Each structure stands twice: as C-alpha cells, then as structure tokens.
Structure 1
Amino acid sequence: MKINRYYLAAIAAFVIWGFIPFPLRAVSDYASSQIMFYRISFALLGTIILLLTLKRKALQSDWQKFRSESGLSRRKLLTVMTTASLLLSFNWLLFIYVVNKVSVQAGSFSYLICPILTSLLGYLVLSEKLLRNQWLAISLSAVSCSLVASGSFLGMVMSLLVATSYAFYLIAQRKFQGYDKIVLLGVQLSISFLVIAPWYWLTLPAGGAMLPDGHFLTQTLILGVIFTILPLFLNLFALKELSSGTVGILMYINPLINFTMAFLYFGEMASPQQVVAYVLIFLSIVVYNWHLVSAGRKSVAVAAEIK
C-alpha cells in the first residue's frame, strides 16, 4: 500500500502537466512574454512561501553545502545555475508561444522527443553510454522528425527548440547533485525574474500589451502554482521511493494527454506524414525504454517466485 502513494503522486504530477494547454489557451490573446512574466512571478512567490514553511531545513542545508564548496566550485555552480535559469526561461517562453501560436501538437511532440534527445546530448556532451535499443530509438526519432518537418517545417523547428532547450536544462541540473530541487527552482526562478522583469517593463509600452484583468491573473496564478510548483513537489515526493527510470516512463503521460487534447478538444488535424511520424515516435519510446520494461518484468517474476 505504501508504494501506491508514490506511484499516484508521479502519475498526478504528469497528468497535471498534461492539461497545461488549457490555462495557456485561456490567455492566448495576451503576448507570450506577458504570460511568461506573470507565471514566473506567481511561481516565485509560491516557491518562496514553500521554502520558508515546509522547506526551511532544506534551504539551510543547501546554503551550508554551497558555502562549504571551494571558491572555484562556487563560481562554476553559479555559472551553471545562471545558464540553467536562462534555459528554463527560454523553454517556458517558447513553449507558451508554440502552444498558443503554432499548435498543441508541436508542443506535445517536443516533450515526446525530449527524453531521447536528452540521452543523445548526454552522450555528446557528457560522454554517457547508450544501449543498442537506445541508439535504435534515436534513429527512429530522427526519421519521425524528418516526417514532421515535411508536413510543417516551422512546427518541427519549434518542437526541436523547445526539446533542445529543456534537454540542456536537464543536463545542467546534473551539476547540482545533492541539492534540493525546490531550493534550486527558487534560485532559478529568482534569476529568471531578475532578467525578465526589467526587460518586460521596459518593452511593455512599445509592445502594446493588454492590461491584465482578473481572468488573466487567475489563469497565470494557476499556471504558476498548480502547473509549476504542485507537480514538481509531487514528482519529488514520488522519487523518494520510485526509481528515476520508472518516473521517466511515467513522464510520457504528459505529452500523450497533450496530444489527446489537441485532437479531441482543440480540433487540430494531422497530415498522413504526421500520423506516420507520431506512430514512429511512439515506437521509439517503447524501444528506448525496453530495457526498463524488461527489468520491471523480471522484478515482478522474482517477487512472484518469492511469494
């Protein structure tokens, strides 16, 4: 029974993220930069409240850990932290633009290929090893991307930009092993806010942005708290008992819900090339995670034998 809570937490996190097109489309008349500014503002405020209440010990522990680092290590960590913050900001801003101005499909496709792209970049940047099935999955993903590009080159470019920016963000996160993710999010949001706020307010008059009303503030508050802080907190809770591989498989719930919303609710259509591309990307996901699925089956069989 205990493990079920962690599975439910992981599933709930990715289900919540799967419905993010709803609040984004609800404010699609506003500029992407305006949505971004308020999302970061509300997310930062919520994170600060969380850090000062439930995460105070983690905040103090991470601060002591950072202070114990050498001067060179601290400078490197600050450089990587700033880079990660800018990557996250770019990823969020671009994803908002893609969902509202291109298509929900393009946004969904980016997070389907993101885990596979992250592995490829991990191999190229960090010299991480890849299994044969993962190389096959990367090849299938490349074919899928080429098919999507033949139907919508702009959509493919946008999807790759979203996926690549988040993949590099995930790689940068690996430099912060041992640090609490909520604390890291608070620092990254603070840096993002310091970068975006001046730029946003200086360009606001020239951009002719709409004045935020109650509806806009409510939707961006939901984006900042319900679709940012809550699922991350649930994901961290799930990782206390579940392996990162298990959570990695569950994360595909997010883009699958996005795709369902794109076709059934937002009325988007797919060309024959795109349909083939989506079939290939789903196949590549199965192939990419096959070693994890096989390991899970062996664990179940061993548990059955013990019983």
Structure 2
Amino acid sequence: MAAQETRKGVFYGLFAYTMWGCFPLYFALFEGVPAWEVVVHRVIWSCVFLAVIITFLQRWQPVRTALAQPAKLGFVLGCAVLIAVNWGVYIYAVESRQVLQASLGYFLTPLVNVGLGMLVLKESISRLQIVAVALATIAILYQLLLLGVVPWITLVLAFSFGTYGLLRKQVALDGLSGLFVETLLLLPVAILALAFVSYAGASHFSEDAAITLLLISSGAVTAIPLLAFAGAARRLRLSTVGFLMYINPTIQFLIALVVFSEPLSIEKLTSFIMIWVALGIYSWSAWTGRARTLPS
C-alpha cells in the first residue's frame, strides 16, 4: 500500500512540475496581451476556479477561519503581492522571449530559500550549503560583470518566489486554501483594473474568441498543477519533492533553446553551469544531512 501511494505521489509530482515547466508554451499564446492584463485575469479566474474546487472538496472551513482573523492576514497579503509580481514578471519574460532568464530564476530559487533562511530565520546551514549559495552569487555577479546587465528577471523571480516561501511558512493554510485567500485579497484590485481597462477600450477580453478562452482558462491552468503538487507533497518525502522540483526549470530551459531559439552565449552558459554545480552541492548536502538523521 505504501509503495502504491509513493508511485501515485511521484506521478502527481511529475505531472505538476512538467505542467509548470511547459508554462512558456501556454503563456506564449497570449502574444499582444500585456503581461499585467494577463495577471489581472489570472487572479480573477483563479479565484473563481478555486472557489469551485474548494466547494467540491468541502474545504471552506480553513478559508473561513483565515478570513475571520483579519489581523493575521498581513502575511497572506504579502504572499499575494509577491505571487502577483512573480506571475507578472514571468509572463513578461515569456512574451519578450527571455525564458532562459526565467528558468535560471527558478534554478536559483532553492538557493535563495537557503540564504533567506540563514539571514532572516537565523537557520543554521552546513558549510556545503554556504559554498552553494556563494557559488550562485558569483554566477549572478559573473553575468553582471561580463554581460554588463543586471539579470533582473532572474533575480525578481528567484527572490519574489523565495520570499513568498518565507512568508508562506508563517501562514497556517494549505496550498489550495492559501492560494484562494491570496487571490481573494487581490480580487478587488483585479476587478478595478479590469473595469478601468475596459472603460478605456483597451481590454483584450472578448476582443477575440481564442484570447477570451485563454484568459478564462488561466484559472484552471493555475490551480490544476497546484492540486497535483499537493497530492505529491502528501505522499512523498520532502527530499523527493525537492529533487522533482528541478524538472520545471529544466523543461523551461529546453523550451527556450529548442522552441523559442533563444541565444545562449558562452557567458550565459557558464553562469548556468555554475548554478547547476551549486544546486548539485546543495542537493548532496541536503541528502547526506538527511541520511545522517535517519535511524540506523
């Protein structure tokens, strides 16, 4: 029975991370629609879709409990703002064909999590993890010095999602309920933004049937991998989930090269290799640390 549940967990994890990895193919279909407008619709339709799912699963109690304590919603609001920023920058990266920088951001995220845990939560980390974070920092500085530009897409994606994870630790909500409350807090702003752009005659909604369906589908596309991830997280060890996480940016990296034909200079490739080595060091450290804590 345990083996069967583990297989299910691996399937759910593969499905979630593969779907997230293929997001560039999906958001590339919104060509001509500004990233911020896509985010507005993603918030609205995610909220609608999640409300339906929560009703179907009869999971309203955690939501009601959270909303009944407005004084504790500060962290949730912070999470909401960070996830909106992350969505917007990511969609912009896809629309402007900078998916390589986006994939690097998600490769970098675990190391940002380690750094934030050390600096903010005062968590103790191993020497190998310190080496991994230092190597990742050198990789970003390498891009800055040799290419002469700040890889802002990489940094914003990594730090917005890393900080999101940091704040999320302070919120006693599961992934599904948490994302619903986050989108619910953003909903008034999203509706106002939609009303404004519609009044100005600049809305792309209902302008074209295909775009309209894509905008509506963004709610399901946001929620479905989250539900699969939740199924994986319940059935798998954290180390296994962490290993599967690298599937997402790897697929994005390949899509950037093969589908979008983005140029990969020697400088960028060197930066990627440094990040990959840092992730290898981090993963080895996490795995050996876990092995030492297991009973003999």
Matched, 1:293 2:287: yes
Residues 290/44 of structure 1: CA separation in 2 closer, same or farther (3 Å cut) = same
Within-5 A mapping of 1:109-128:
109-128=104-123
Matched with 1:189 is 183
CA distance in 2, matches of 1:140, 1:244: 24
SS for the counterpart of 2:31 is coil
Residues 234, 136 of structure 1: CA spacing in aligned structure 2 closer, same or farther, 3 A cutoff? same
Structure 1 stretch displaced more, 258-267 or 194-203:
194-203
Closer/same/farther in 2, CA of residues 65 and 88 from structure 1, 3 Å limit = closer
2:246 paired residue number: 252
Out of 137-146 and 288-297, give the one that drifted further: 288-297
Distance (whole Å) between structure 1 residues aligned to residue 201 and residue 167 of structure 2: 32
Give the aligned partner of residue 239 of structure 1.
Answer: 233
Question: What residue in structure 2 maps to residue 31 of structure 1?
Answer: 34
* Distance of aligned partners of 1:210 and 1:50 in 2 relative to their CA distance in 1, 3 Å threshold: closer
Q: Show the counterpart of 1:104.
A: 99
Q: 1:14 aligns with which of 9, 13, 17?
A: 17
- Structure 2 match to 1:145: 140
The CA deviation at 1:31 is: 0.9
Contact 2:83 2:160 in 1 (8 A): yes
**Mean Cα displacement is larger for which, 58-67 or 239-248?**
58-67
Deviations 1:176-229 (A, max 9, x none): 23x222111111111112222213432455584445422112323343213x11
Cα drift, residue 252 of structure 1: 1.0
Letter in structure 2 aligned against 1:280:
M
Check the 8 A contact 2:41/2:190 in 1, yes or no: no
Give me the whole-angstrom Cα distance separating, in 2, the residues matched to 1:207 and 1:132.
57
One-letter amino acid of the counterpart of residue 153, structure 1: V
Corresponding position of 1:80 = 75
TM-score normalized with structure 1 length? 0.87
User: Given residue 151 of structure 1, which amino acid in structure 2 is its aligned partner?
Assistant: L
Asked if structure 2 preserves the Cα contact closer than 8 Å seen for 1:137 and 1:284, the reply is yes
Measured against aligned partners, the alpha-carbon deviations of 1:135-163 in whole angstroms (never above 9, x if no partner) come to 11101101111223332625x11210121
Counterpart CA distance in 2 for 1:285 and 1:268 is: 23
What residue in structure 1 maps to residue 269 of structure 2?
A: 275
User: In the superposition, relative to structure 1, how do residues 106 and 144 fare at CA in structure 2: closer, same or farther (>3 Å)?
Assistant: same
What is the deviation of 1:244?
2.2
Residue 8 of structure 2 aligns with which residue? Answer: 5
The equivalent of 1:70 in structure 2 is none
Q: CA RMSD in A?
A: 2.3
What percent of counterpart residues are identical?
22
How many pairs does the alignment contain? 290
User: Are the counterparts in 2 of residues 116 and 137 from structure 1 also a CA contact under 8 Å?
Assistant: yes
Between the aligned partners of 1:5 and 1:235, the Cα distance in structure 2 is 11
Structure 1 contact 20–223 (Cα < 8 Å) conserved: no
Deviations 1:6-41 (A, max 9, x none): 011111100000000011111121111111112222
State whether structure 2 residue 52 is matched by structure 1 residue 59.
no
1-side partners of 2:61 and 2:130: how far apart? 42
The 1:195–1:60 alpha-carbon spacing in structure 2 relative to 1, beyond 3 Å, is same
Stretch of structure 1 that moved more, 134-143 or 235-244: 235-244
CA distance in 2, matches of 1:219, 1:152: 37
User: Would the aligned equivalents of 1:23 and 1:222 in 2 still touch at CA under 8 Å?
Assistant: no
TM-score, length basis structure 2:
0.90
Aligned to 1:174: 169
Question: 1:38/1:274 Cα in 2 relative to 1: closer, same or farther (>3 Å)?
Answer: same
Structure 1 residue 94 and structure 2 residue 95: aligned?
no
Decide whether the 8 Å contact of 2:54 with 2:60 is kept in 1. Answer: yes
Q: Distance in 1 between matches of 2:183 and 2:232?
A: 23
Question: CA separation of 1:93/1:152 partners in 2, compared to 1, >3 Å: closer, same or farther?
Answer: farther
State the distance in 2 between where 1:282 and 1:222 align: 34
Q: Give the counterpart letter for 1:60 in structure 2.
A: Q
- C-alpha change, 1:218 and 1:195, in structure 2 (3 Å) is same
